């Protein structure tokens, strides 16, 4: 189990993160520059927090009050960087051997070859990283990292620089290799779909501050902050005012909306997922909108709507091509939002 509670002053904000990973893959999900990678570096010992405590399986890695700060080599933490950080002038075998300093010298080569065999790289043992494909480099980086027998794996956006085809292939390989790993895994990402495919739990970071850990399913079904809603893929987020326990006013859209979920006193906004906006008037939560733009893809149509009574804030509705065709290329459209699809939100970041 990994327990993290740290603070570190950065140039534009203070990192203030608290979470626990206790099995499976935990995602740190946030926009670029929010402190995700810095959090991993603090856990690995590459960076030192200003204060706090980091504990891994009962071992204290860092404690500012007790003056404890183990070196990266003492922590038994494996970190996979975005560029894999392989030694460019070493062969695949030498890269893995470099992680086996805990073994007697005479055993290192045999163990390194066994590790390459596990990752289907044994025939490439004499190649340097520049002579390997992207997938082979990723497998080599994983082989080297796991050879050191880390108690936790830290994955820093390992697919961010790849094209979509290679990304899909390497993601599938990563999931397969992680299935046999017994320790905790922390994945840094800004991609909600990647998190949905790879992770069981998620901790959202916004400008260095962490939100409570939740399951990925909970994040997608009921995000409760502006940041969580945006990161979960909610395309429609606008400021709102609480009117009652189940009613909000959205002046930017010109709506008064009923909600199924209770509206918190600290409400700042509401979110509506694009596929939850439906054509047609209804008894509640209806509005007439002007169709401002239509964007088509192979499997969906995104329709930009301007509510007639709003203040210029647009809504995005997502339909199938067949559903949009049924509207007859309308220029004006009545739409409605079911009350159980209105997400009351707190926090800043609008």
Question: Predicted confidence band at 103 (pLDDT cuts at 50, 70, 90)?
Answer: confident
Percent of the chain with pLDDT over 70: 99
Average pLDDT (325-347) is: 94
Q: What is the mean pLDDT of residues 232-261?
A: 95
Bridge partners, 247 (sequence order): 244, 258
Confidence of residue 187 (pLDDT cuts 50, 70, 90): very high
Q: 130-175: per-residue pLDDT in tens? A: 999 888 888 898 889 888 889 999 999 887 766 777 778 778 888 8
pLDDT band at 3 (very low <50, low <70, confident <90, very high): very high
């Amino acid at each position: 189990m990994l327990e993290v509670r740290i603070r570190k002053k950065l140039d534009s904000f203070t990192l203030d993160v608290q979470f626990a990973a206790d099995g499976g893959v935990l995602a740190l999900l946030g926009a670029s520059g929010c402190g995700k990678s810095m959090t991993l570096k603090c856990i690995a010992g590459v960076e030192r927090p200003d204060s706090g405590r980091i504990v891994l399986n009962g071992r204290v890695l860092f404690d500012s009050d007790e003056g404890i700060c183990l070196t990266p080599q003492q922590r038994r933490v494996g970190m996979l960087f975005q560029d894999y950080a392989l030694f460019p002038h070493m062969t695949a075998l030498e890269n893995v051997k470099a992680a086996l300093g805990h073994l007697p010298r005479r055993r290192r080569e045999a163990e390194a070859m066994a590790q390459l065999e596990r990752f289907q790289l044994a025939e490439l043992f004499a190649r340097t990283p520049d002579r390997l494909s992207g997938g082979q480099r990723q497998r080599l980086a994983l082989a080297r990292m796991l050879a050191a027998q880390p108690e936790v794996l830290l994955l820093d956006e390992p697919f961010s620089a790849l094209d979509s085809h290679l990304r899909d292939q390497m993601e599938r390989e990563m999931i397969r290799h992680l299935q046999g790993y017994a320790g905790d895994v922390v994945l840094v990402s800004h991609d909600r779909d990647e998190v949905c495919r790879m992770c069981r739990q998620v901790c959202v970071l916004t400008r260095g501050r962490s939100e409570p850990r939740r399951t990925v399913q909970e994040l997608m079904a009921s995000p409760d902050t502006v940041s969580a809603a945006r990161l979960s893929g909610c395309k429609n987020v606008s400021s709102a005012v609480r009117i009652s326990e189940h009613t909000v006013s959205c002046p930017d859209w010109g709506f008064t909306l009923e909600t199924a979920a209770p509206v918190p006193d600290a409400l700042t906004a509401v979110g509506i997922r694009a596929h939850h906006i439906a054509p047609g008037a209804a008894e509640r939560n209806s509005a007439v909108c002007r169709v401002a733009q239509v964007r088509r893809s192979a499997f969906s149509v995104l329709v930009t709507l301007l509510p007639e009574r709003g203040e210029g804030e647009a809504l995005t509705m997502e339909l199938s091509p067949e559903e949009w065709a049924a509207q007859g290329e309308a220029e004006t459209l009545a739409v409605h939002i079911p009350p159980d699809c209105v997400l009351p939100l707190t926090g800043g970041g609008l």
